[in-house]
Every structure is written in structure tokens, then in C-alpha cells.
Amino acid sequence: MPRVAVRIGFTSLALLLACLIAACNSQSFQESNGPSMPAMPPAPVQPPAPPMNPARQIDGNWYATYPGGPLRVVIGLDPMLRGRNYVATLVDGTKNVPAGQVMWRGTVDQYVPNLVRADQACVGSGPVRTVKARVIVNDPDHLTEELVDPKSCPGFPVKYTSARVTDAPQPKN
């Protein structure tokens, strides 16, 4: 009987090894690259970023066609206010307007590209008063300032040319 038991044991062991070998050769135990992940959908095509609003880049030196001009004007950022708030200051004075006079203060229009809404100093006979104006950025080197009410102040529209342009008008000395 012990031989029969040994034989049954060897047979059982052989069957067990055969099952293990057969199981290891099955698809379940083949080498894989990990769990299969679903493929990511393609990312939607992103539109190009909108171009920078040129009205946000007008600070610098300009020549303006104010009466008696062209006159040099410096457009800078208003240090007293946050955001893109401009101050246009006259560099060249005339008989009616002294050098250093703030000609207009304006803010970039958040809804209309190329537009600055401004309060223009109207200099003429009588005290200086403020009128509503628009500064239209035609391109990075040319601006046009026009009044909301064209009859509120003489001498408008005023054309601005960047001082960095080689053919910019020069002030009369």
C-alpha cells in the first residue's frame, strides 16, 4: 500500500505541475504592459490667442496736430490709478497752452479694441474746460483724437504720430 500511496502522490504532483504549467502559458499570465487604458480623446484645437489691443500700448512720445503744432506730447500711465489709464502731457507750449499742460486723461475701453475714452482739456477763449473725447488707435504709430461732440471745442480732430517714426513731423521752433 505504501507504493500505491507514493504512486498516487507522484501522479497528483504531476497533475498539479501540469496544471500550473498550462495555466502559466495561458493568455491571462502572458506579459502585458499593464492594465489597458482607454485612449485619450484628441484635445480640441485651440484658437490662436487674440492679438494684443493696440490701445494698451500707446504710452510714449508723440507729435500732435494741435493748433500751432505739430506739438510734442508725452503719453504716460497715470500713477494715481490702477489699470491702463493714460495722461497726455504737452511738452511744447504755445501762446495759449503752457508746456506741461495735461491735454487729456483716458482709459482703455474694455469693450471696443483700439479705443481710449478720454477727457480732453479745451483751451481757447475763457477758462480751460474739459470735454469728452475718443482716442482711436489707427495703428501702433498713429492715433486720432476726436471729440464726442465735434462742436464742443475747436481744432479737432487731432492726429498723433509716434516720435519713433522716421517721417514724423517735427515741431516748429
> What's the pLDDT tens digit per position in 123-159?
876 788 999 999 999 998 999 999 999 999 888 999 9
In a domain, 26, yes or no: no
In a domain, 66, yes or no: yes
Question: The whole model's pTM is what?
Answer: 0.68
User: Structural domain tally of the chain?
Assistant: 1
Residues spanned by the domain of 146:
54-162
CATH number of the domain within which 80 lies: 2.40.128
In a domain, 41, yes or no: no
In a domain, 5, yes or no: no
DSSP secondary structure of 1-57: -HHHHHHHHHHHHHHHHHHHHHHHTSGGGS--SSSPPPPPPPPPPPPPPPPPPGGGS
> Under a CB-based contact definition with an 8 Å cutoff, are residues 143 and 62 in contact?
yes
Residue 169: is its pLDDT beyond 80? no
In a domain, 45, yes or no: no
